[in-house]
Structures are given as structure tokens and as C-alpha cells.
Amino acid sequence: MTINTSRRGFLQGAAAASAVLLVGVRPDGAVAAGGSDATMLNPFVRISADGRVTAIVKHFEKGQGPATGLTTLIAEEVGVTMDQIDYDFAPSNPEVYNNLAFGPFQGTGGSTAMANSYMQYRQAGAAARGLLIEAAAQEWGVDSGSLSITDGVVSGAGKSAPLGNFVATAATLDAPAEPSLKDPSEFSLIGNPDIRRKDTPPKVNGTAIYAMDLHLDNQMVVMIARAPRMGATVASFDDADARGIKGFIQAMTLPNKAGVAVYAEHTWAAFQARDALSVEWDFSAAESRSSDQIREELIAAVNADPEYSVNKADQAEVAARIDGAAQVLEETYYFPLLAHAPMETLTCTIEPLADGGIILHDGAQIPTGPHMALSQILELPMEKVQIKTMFAGGSFGRRATPEADYQVEAGLAFAITDRTRPVKLVWSREDDIRGGYYRPAVAHRVRVGLDADGQIVGWDHRIAAQSIMKGTAFEGMMVHDGVDHSSVEGVPDSPYQIPGQFVGLTDVAKATSVLWWRSVGHTHTAYVMETMMDMAAQAAGRDAVEFRLSLLEGGGADQERLADVLKLAAEKGGWGNAPDGRHQGIAVHKSFGSYAAQVVEISGGADDVTIEKVTCAIDCGLAVNPDVIKAQMEGGIGYGLGHAMRNEVTLTEGEVDQYNFPDYEPLRIGDIGAIEVHIMPSAEAPTGVGEPGTPPAAPALANAIAASGPRITTLPMNANGASFA
């Protein structure tokens, strides 16, 4: 027997075939690399000896594109094609995979996936490239400066070989302290409009596995009979009729008395058994207000002195400016509760392991939340709780709750069993529409004073809202001096240079649980700012675009970028040149670091509006995946318009009136004509795209309707003055 003691010889032997290079970047920015899980846990990129590159994606994929985007960053920096790279979703580990915008939380939200990953993933890819090149330089005995990697091949100094050949050696080298990033002029993948989504193939042939599709041996399907009003609890239940359903296993009250868990052998049996269950509720502490009352409370609040002064302006001085103005505009607005209604209803599965630990299978938006919650509920150390992130069938914010609501339900339902069988929690569409966590109901009242020249001299803006953040784990981050920033964002921080602006806020007690909903506070603030701006331009007798631009002139980069997208949308949308019989409306808004402007063109009168065309301009910094950005604008516009047109959740004595899509009617294919998206060229750091397309859409539509019809200040539009063809 011969033992090869040469290091190179050994590496070229059996070990090399199974070698792997792992590279990650710690949150402090330090690059780390290694050749096995023991030396380099939780990497951002994994490269095997056969040359396959895998990006470890720390954000979940709900359609917004990180499975493609973060993979593009790695492929670009390593030097492989998009066909030579795969992706996996990261495990739950907030020390490594935290969202840099969230602090110690791993999670997705606030349109931050690309913004917080851009440098991190590029650095990991660049470090991997540096290691592979250094390894090749050593093996070939050439200067590393003469080598480069293109399409997965290391070449230079008259030599060339697939990068996989150097993985084993690279894994033994120290990671570069400062990886050498590509100059943007060298990019071939970042910014390339022809890059296709990595998740398209399995989503067009039915093989993509979502959390709802998981089927584990011996699993039980659990549905919850939930309290019909916030604050109600289970008094008692009778499952006599459920016992007659084939496949019914048992029913048990959840430990927090928020509902009764119904366990069955399969999904349809769970549906039927829950329907057959009879529950007596204790309503003594339950919500009993109706939506009309909530609306009255919110309107009353914006007509009283506000609880908080948001921007610390002198309220009396602003009032005096407006009172002394040549023209005064005053409007009161109301925005109803809205459900998110992602296509895949909420679901997750808890799988017990032989060692006493569990795996949560979930389209996990903020893994750290359920990780901590399940650790507590099941009294397991954190390392005994694993999370496997699966495709999510949409979210729009719903899969991220500060309380990890549905994962906690699954945890409680699992905890009260003997913990031997996997528990799959399934929500029906009715559970989803009626289950709370809505976009809060909000009222605004705005008074604007214009002088004789049509210039704004004062802007008094009061908001009354149901706070999303107060009382949650996010309160410390989002609430300052009593002001929940998510209730007002988009008003005090608007790039418009408005003289004499006062912003006030009053919190009103919520009657349902409330939650961020695609673009959060901007869902209502953009509507108010941009319809008021339209009215002010009209009152001043000025063009809507020119009037807005005058409030952005002479500012800084923030104002310039907003002005530039406004001009681009106006130009591309043919602003001011609507064909006969058509009307246009325009709106522009900054959110999540991005600038979006839209022109909506409609035909018909207020009683038969048809949305013919939407033209959008977006500045989201450097456009990593231009086609994904366009898709997010298209989707964000549709989401904003559909809800403004016809959606609301209403309550009667604390109980939700709607039940399913027939009375929470989604946007349909015939509702919008063409959408055209123009991306502003930019070398700035990437900012959000998941949400910024939504805020301008509804006010642009409202402004188009107002061009020949009513000024709609209460949503939805179809209950307040407009009908859609």
C-alpha cells in the first residue's frame, strides 16, 4: 500500500472529487471561507468540484425575485453563466443570514432584499473568484493577476481549465480580507434585461413545491375554528357531528383559547370536520364595533387636535398661514381595512424529529420570529428548531407578522398532541379573508393654503390610524416619541419642498389585528399627497406636472430623482396628449428608497371607467434584474389599482362581513389594459422594487377620474362615486 503524502497529490485524489468551496460574509463585513461545513458554516456561496455553483439565498421567494437576483450577484462576481448556478434557500440563522436593514432578524420585508444583499453577495462571489484564481495561479505557477474566470472557466497565461478543478485547493486558502469586486463596466449579468427568472421552469410545469404542497408520511392536517371577533375565546365545543366524518381524528381547544384545532387524516376531512364542529364563544372581552363606527372615530380624530406632532412644526403658525391664504382647499379622506389575500393561503408543517427537535416547513418570511416562538412554545433550545424555507404563493406582507401568528397556531396545535405525528396547518380562503391582520383603517384631513400666485403657503395634515407597530417587537425600531412612523411615512418625509407644513397623528384603537400591506403607510399617504397636489395644481390653474416640479426645484438629489421619474413618466405616457375620449392622471411618490411615477389613462365616464393604459417610470438605483423590476412594477400597479377600485373589509358588530373572493373580488385580467415600465438608468446603490410600484397607482387613477368626474376621497372607488366597465 502506498500512501501519497504530497499535499497536492492528495488533493488531486479522492478528496478532490468531493471537495467543496464555501464562502460567506459575516454581518461585520468579514469574508470567511472554508472547505467543509465544519470550517465554514452557513455560506452565501457553495462551489463543488464538478463546477456547480450554488447561491444560498437568505430571502424567501414570494415572486418578488430574490431567487434570481441574489443568484445573479454571485454568478456575476464568480464568473459563471446563469445556467451554471443553482440556488438554495438559507436555513434559519440570524447571526449570518440577518437582514442588514432589520438588525438581528433574518427576514424579508420593506423591499430590502436586494438593497441589503447587494454588496454582501457580490463580496462573497468576488471572494470565491479570488480564491479559485489564487488556487489556479499556485497550481500553474503563474501570476494570479494574469488570470480571470469567464463562463466557469479559469484562463490566462496561456492556460485554461474549468473552475471546478481548483475547488479543492481554493478551499485550503485564506479568504481575501477585501475581495476585489468587478467594476460595473465589466458586468455582463447585473443589469442584463435578458436574464430569465431562475424559478420559472418549475412554476410552469407544476413541479414547484410550496408549503401547501408538502406531504409528510403520517401527517395530520389541522384547521382551526377561530373566534369570529377579536378578543373572543372558546367557551366550549361539541364535536359530535365531526366524529361522523371519515378521516376526522380529534378536536382540541388551543391552550390560548383562541380557537379549536381540528385534526384530520387529510385536507378535505379537515374542512368537513371543522364545518361540522359547533363552538360556543365567550364574547365578554370581544370587539363589538362596526366599521361605520370605526370610520366615525377616525374622522372625529382628524377633526380634533392631534395626539402627536409628527414634524414638530408650529401648528398655530401653520393654521394662521392657511387662514390668511387667498385660497384654502380642505379634504377629508378615509381608507378601509384591506386583506392581503395571497393566492396560497397560510400554511406550514411541523415535523417532529427522532432527537426531540422539529423542522418547520414554511414559506418563511421572517424565519427568526417563528424560530424563537416555536422554541418557546415547545420548550426546545433554538438549535433543536430548524426551518426549511419553501416557495411562498404570494404574501404582500401577510406571511410576516410580529407574533408569527400562523406558525404559533401550528406550534400550539402540535404541542397539545403526543408530538409523534407531523402537523400541517391549513387555512381556507375564508380563514384568510376573515382572519384579521388587515391594512389598518386610516383617515386623513388636509388643509392647504395657496397665495394669490398659486403658491402653497401652508399645509396642515392630520392622520388618524390604527398603529401597526405599537405593542410589537418592532416598536423600538419604528415608533419614536409616540409616533408610529408606518402610520405617516410619505408625508413628513416627502421630497416636496412644502412651506409651512404641519403633520399630526392620532392613534385610534383597532378593532381587528392590523398589519403592513404592500407599501405599508404609503398605501394611503401617497393617495392623499398626490390627489391633494392635483387639487392644488388645479386651484392654482397650473399643469399637474409643472406644479409638482416647481416644488422639487432647487432641492438636492432626492428632489432631482423624484422630478426625473415624473418627467420620464410624463414623456413616455404622452402627458397632456390624451387621445379623444380619454383622460389622464399622474402621480409620483418616493418609498423604500425608490422613486416611482405613473400616468394612468382611462376612457369612459365616472360610471363606466376603463383603465386603458398605465405608464410607469422607476428609479430604484442600479437595476440588477431589469425584467424582474418591470414585473414588480406591473404587479405593484395591479395590486394598488385593484384594491382601490373595489376592495374593503367591513365589520358588523366586530365580525367581518366578507367571506371569500366573490365578495373580496380580486383584480381580473380584463381590468387593466397595457402597462409600460421605463427604468431610469442609475449607478446608485439598488433600492426597493417590491412595494414602490403600488403607491402612485391609485392616486394616478383618482386624478384621471377627477379630470372629468368626481374627486374620490373615500375608498374603495366603486362604493364612492365611480363604476368600472
Angle at Cα 114 formed by Cα 183 and Cα 523, nearest 5°? 140
Which helix (H) or strand (E) element contains residue 426?
strand 423-426
Q: What is each CA distance from 207 to 66, 71, 201, 203, in whole angstroms?
A: 19, 20, 8, 7
Residues 100, 119, 181, 208: which binds another protein (CB under 8 A)?
A: 208
Q: 425, 347 in Cβ contact below 8 A?
A: yes
Binding status of residue 359 toward another protein by CB under 8 A: no
What are the φ and ψ backbone dihedral angles of 72, each rounded to 5 degrees? -60, -40
Name residue 582's beta-bridge partners.
603
Binding status of residue 266 toward another protein by CB under 8 A: yes
Residues 6+ apart with CB under 8 A from 719: 646, 648
Q: Which stretch binds another protein (CB under 8 A): 132-140, 336-344, 456-464, 565-573?
A: 336-344
Binding status of residue 396 toward another protein by CB under 8 A: yes
Q: Which is nearer to another protein, 203 or 257 (CB)?
A: 203
Shortest separation between residue 628's beta carbon and another protein, angstroms: 8
Q: Which is nearer to another protein, 344 or 409 (CB)?
A: 344
Residues 8, 196, 243, 312: which binds another protein (CB under 8 A)?
A: 196
Q: 209, 640 in Cβ contact below 8 A?
A: no
Binding status of residue 662 toward another protein by CB under 8 A: yes
Binding status of residue 672 toward another protein by CB under 8 A: yes
Tell me how long the chain is: 725
Task: Write each residue from 454 to 493 as x if it is in contact with another protein (CB under 8 A), else as -, in one continuous string.
Answer: ----------------------------------------
Binding status of residue 243 toward another protein by CB under 8 A: no
Residues 601-630 that bind another protein (CB under 8 A): 627-628
Q: Which stretch binds another protein (CB under 8 A): 164-172, 184-192, 386-394, 503-511?
A: 386-394
Residues 21-80 that bind another protein (CB under 8 A): 62-65
Binding status of residue 391 toward another protein by CB under 8 A: yes
Binding status of residue 342 toward another protein by CB under 8 A: yes
Binding status of residue 592 toward another protein by CB under 8 A: no
Q: Which is nearer to another protein, 24 or 642 (CB)?
A: 642
Residues 430-449 that bind another protein (CB under 8 A): none
Binding status of residue 660 toward another protein by CB under 8 A: yes
Angle at Cα 323 formed by Cα 322 and Cα 327, nearest 5°? 70
Binding status of residue 648 toward another protein by CB under 8 A: no
Q: Which is nearer to another protein, 38 or 668 (CB)?
A: 668
- As a three-state string, the secondary structure of 590-652 is EECCEEEEEEEEEECCCCCEEEEEEEEEEECCCCCCHHHHHHHHHHHHHHHHHHHHHCCECEE
Give the integer Cα–Cα distance in Å for 300 and 562: 34
Residues 383, 453, 554, 668: which binds another protein (CB under 8 A)?
A: 668
Nearest to 297 by CA among 473, 479, 506, 494: 506
Q: 351, 411 in Cβ contact below 8 A?
A: no
Which helix (H) or strand (E) element contains residue 278?
strand 278-282
Task: Write each residue from 271 to 290 as x if it is in contact with another protein (CB under 8 A), else as -, in one continuous string.
Answer: x-------------------
Q: 424, 347 in Cβ contact below 8 A?
A: yes
Residues 341, 529, 537, 617: which binds another protein (CB under 8 A)?
A: 341
Exposure letters 30-60 (e unless 16+ CB within 10 A, then b): ebbbbbeeeebebbbbbbebebbbbbbbbbb
Residues 77, 530, 534, 634: which binds another protein (CB under 8 A)?
A: 634
CA 450 to chain CA centroid, nearest Å: 38
Binding status of residue 104 toward another protein by CB under 8 A: no
Q: Which is nearer to another protein, 638 or 709 (CB)?
A: 638
Please report the sign of the dihedral spanned by the C-alpha atoms of residue 370, residue 363, residue 388, residue 39: negative
Nearest to 660 by CA among 271, 339, 398, 363: 339
Q: Which is nearer to another protein, 66 or 709 (CB)?
A: 66
Name residue 189's beta-bridge partners.
none
Binding status of residue 228 toward another protein by CB under 8 A: no
Residues 141, 158, 206, 381: which binds another protein (CB under 8 A)?
A: 206
Residues 2, 185, 205, 284: which binds another protein (CB under 8 A)?
A: 205
Helix axes 113-140, 66-78, angle to 10 degrees: 30
Residues 207, 218, 284, 577: which binds another protein (CB under 8 A)?
A: 207
Task: Write each residue from 514 to 553 as x if it is in contact with another protein (CB under 8 A), else as -, in one continuous string.
Answer: ----------------------------------------
Size of the site for another protein (CB under 8 A): 61
Residues 6+ apart with CB under 8 A from 376: none
82 φψ region: left (φ > 0), alpha (ψ -120 to 50), beta (else)? alpha
Residues that bind another protein (CB under 8 A): 62-65, 196-197, 199-210, 212-213, 215, 246, 266-268, 271, 341-345, 391-396, 428-429, 627-628, 631-632, 634-635, 637-639, 642, 660-662, 666-672, 674-675
